[in-house]
Chain A
């Protein structure tokens, strides 16, 4: 059972960290609990579906279907997070101002919430499908303590997510959304570099360089802090050039996009904020 719990914990942790950042980024948005819950359910159903079709997936694209699928899921998540980051750079200040005025609730944000629902779903789907295949193997192999291990792993992984969430809530409100936006940008950049790694593994992209550095003696990819940082900021102990390229380009596009949005939105920001604040509360 400890082995089962540990593997489940590691997979759940990855999804939980992503969900935590999404939850923090949607702080104060009404009905976001429904969106996150919906994303979770969709993700679990998706995980079962992916696990069921794992055989077909493995044979697709002349044997690299799994890599293409994973890279696709990761890049889709990058797009959706990017959308939200740009959306927030237009509306974030208005939302923070309104949260202060109305004591924590805002009326806006549902268009971007759909994107984040999908981000949650994709995170759960990716990690969940591995858990399903693992547990299937354990049950088929007659291992003991599968249910207990699953429960323990899910609880421990979620607990880390909750701890991070309540830690993030301590950030003062006026810095809060710029902090969550930065976290989302780093998350997106890390996911993009993971997508590049899958495409290299499938021989669809060149590595460009050998490992640019090797920090595995201090912080290995396999260690828990290494894995946590891998999810949060895209840390890798031995990244290749293509991974760094994907990482940097994603960050630059998001930073450039934010500037562009802020510049074009500047004259209208006042009106948008006023319009949001003027809506009646339900």
Chain B
């Protein structure tokens, strides 16, 4: 039953495309590392993630766990809409600098 309500609330949250202002969260890439490395976001809602690249080279913000990929040009910011996600730990990475650019969304 709990699963049902969770699924139903996810469905409703997912169905609203332009339902007012979405909450916004920010990641910064600097020296091919994410700041913060772990970003806390709420479960069950859609939100806007702004990824700012302060490096002089392009990066691709990517997650195979919450299924997003977007090129972020040097010294600029890109927005990605994410969620609604169930609670959990979702890794993301910078595809162009995977040795260092690793991070995760902590969804609670």
Residues of A within 8 A of B (CB): 3, 7, 54-55, 58, 63-64, 66-67, 130, 133-134, 136-138, 140-141, 197, 200-211, 216, 220-222, 226, 236-238, 240-241
B17 in contact with A205 (CB, 8 Å) = yes
- Nearest A residue (CB) for B70: A66
Q: Verify A133–B71 contact, CB threshold 8 A.
A: yes
Q: Known interface pairs A203-B81, A209-B7, A210-B7. Does A197 touch B67 (Cβ–Cβ under 8 Å)?
A: yes
Q: Is the CB of A222 within 8 A of B14?
A: no
Given contacts A64-B79, A207-B84, A210-B86, contact A238 B67 (CB under 8 A): yes
Q: Once the chains are docked, how many angstroms separate the CA of A3 from the CA of B32? A: 15
Instruction: Give 4 A-B pairs besides A203-B22, A222-B65, A226-B64 with Cβ atoms closer than 8 angstroms.
Output: A130-B95, A136-B57, A137-B96, A203-B17
Q: Which residues of B contact A211 (CB under 8 A)?
A: 86
Residue of A nearest to B50 (CB): A63
Tell me if B11 and A134 are in contact (CB < 8 A): no
5 interchain pairs (CB within 8 A)?
Answer: A133-B71, A203-B48, A203-B81, A209-B7, A209-B14
Complex Cα distance, B99 from A141, in Å, reads: 14
A2 to B67, CA, bound (A): 25
Distance in angstroms between the alpha carbons of A216 and B86 in the assembled complex: 14
Q: Which residues of B have CB within 8 Å of A58?
A: 71-73, 76, 78
CA distance A220 to B63 in the complex (A): 11
For chain B, the bracket of interface size reads: 35 or more
How far, in Å, is B11 (CB) from chain A's closest CB? Answer: 5
Q: How far is the CB of A137 from chain B (nearest CB, A)?
A: 3
Q: Provide the residues of chain A in CB contact with B71, threshold 8 Å.
A: 54, 58, 66, 130, 133
The reply to whether the CB of B39 lies closer than 8 angstroms to some CB of chain A is no
**Bound state CA distance, A133 and B57, in angstroms?**
9
| A47 → chain B closest CB, angstroms | 13
Q: A7-B95, A137-B96 are in contact. Are A210 and B10 (CB under 8 A)?
A: yes
Check A134–B65 contact: CB distance below 8 A.
Answer: no
A201 touches which of B22, B65, B80 (Cβ 8 Å): B80
Please tell me which one of the listed residues A130, A133, A209 contacts residue B11 in the complex, with CB atoms under 8 A apart. A209
B15 proximal to A (CB < 8 A): yes
Residues of B within 8 A of A240 (CB): 14
Q: Decide yes or no whether B38 CB sits under 8 A from chain A.
A: no
